Amino acid sequence: MLEVSVIICSYNRSALLGKCLDQLVLHVKNHSEKLEVLVVDNASTDQTKEMVLSKMALVPFELIYVSEPTPGLSNARNKGAHVARAPWLFYLDDDGLVIDSTFNQLFETIYQFDFDFFGGSYQAYHAALPPDWLPKNYGNKKMQATTTGPIGQDHISGGIMVIKKSDLLDNGGFKSNLGMRSQAIGYGEESELQHRLQKAGYKLGLNPHFLMLHLVGEHKYHVGWHVRAAFAQGRDGVQGSHQVWRSLLWVMPVSLIRNAKRWAIDRSYSFDHLIYDTFVNPMVIVGYLWSKISHPNGG
């Protein structure tokens, strides 16, 4: 019986997508008859379609290719939801790798808990040697929860989230003005959905043992990306982001002076170190303030 539609949205990342699908084959085990896997091609110009079609006869589950020509991760996620046939939707990032326990934890959460929308956790992996200035724990999901339960003060991450199809569609899906759009950095669509469903009284949860590995792409080895991403998080209203870092605007000048002194005397402390330590977190509130000034009425 079909219970879960795994939805993987992808844009011009056929190599990563191929690894994601291969990992599903390795770890789906005895759950293959309970699920289908939909790849939503979001206007890719690489070999995404050909790669997916070539794997259809080689996988133990039904693999479906779906095209969404309108750029935008939210558009792709909504298209996947409409095409999916199962009552549960499991959204998985195309650079995510499931592990041996992922599907056991997925179905355990569905069967044993009364959630309408729940998320998991992820640990970072690197395909190349990361730069020294990048924090050692960068890319690991931070959460307060240690056992499966209500969402509390945590939030659901879009890379590994599960929702009832009917609840998503009944509430209008993901907002198409939020999220990644081709090469443009964007965030906030799952946070906005979480806030909307919480307000409407739906049951949201987290399972910290529902886990995947998540790639830290080499584009994140450039400090400028982190500055732009932090701004986008604040601009797009990622849940709690501006509140956490609000005070940093006041300490940024002090931090700049301190870090500049360190950069001048410590050869191991690079200029990228200085930029990351001084500007990345405060840029969240800069993005938030920019959004309020640009759209004072919330539009």
For residue range 267-282, list pLDDT tens digits in order: 899 999 999 988 888 8
162 forms bridges with which residues in the sheet? 90, 118
The Cα 210–Cα 212 span in angstroms is 7
The pLDDT value given to residue 178 = 67
Q: Count Cβ atoms below 10 Å from residue 235 Cβ, excluding itself.
A: 26
For residue range 163-172, list pLDDT tens digits in order: 999 999 999 9
Instruction: Tell me the whole-structure pTM to 2 decimals.
Output: 0.88
The pLDDT value given to residue 85 = 98
Residue 206 tokens, joined: 């987290």
Contact 72, 173 (CB under 8 A): no
Residue 190 tokens, joined: 């799952």
For residue range 90-149, list pLDDT tens digits in order: 999 999 999 999 999 999 999 999 999 999 999 999 989 999 999 999 999 878 888 999
Contact 262, 271 (CB under 8 A): no
Q: CA nearest 36: which of 62, 57, 17, 60?
A: 62
Contact 234, 285 (CB under 8 A): yes
What type of residue sits at position 212? M
Among 16-25, 41-50, 178-187, 283-292, where is mean pLDDT lowest?
A: 178-187
For residue range 44-76, list pLDDT tens digits in order: 999 999 999 999 999 999 999 999 999 999 999
Contact 122, 211 (CB under 8 A): yes
Give the residue extent of every domain in the chain.
4-220, 222-294
12, pLDDT greater than 50: yes
What is 4-220's CATH number, 3.90.550.10, 3.40.50.1000, 3.30.70.600, 2.60.40.1080?
3.90.550.10
The Cα 37–Cα 42 span in angstroms is 16
Q: How confident is the model at residue 153 (pLDDT cuts 50, 70, 90)?
A: confident
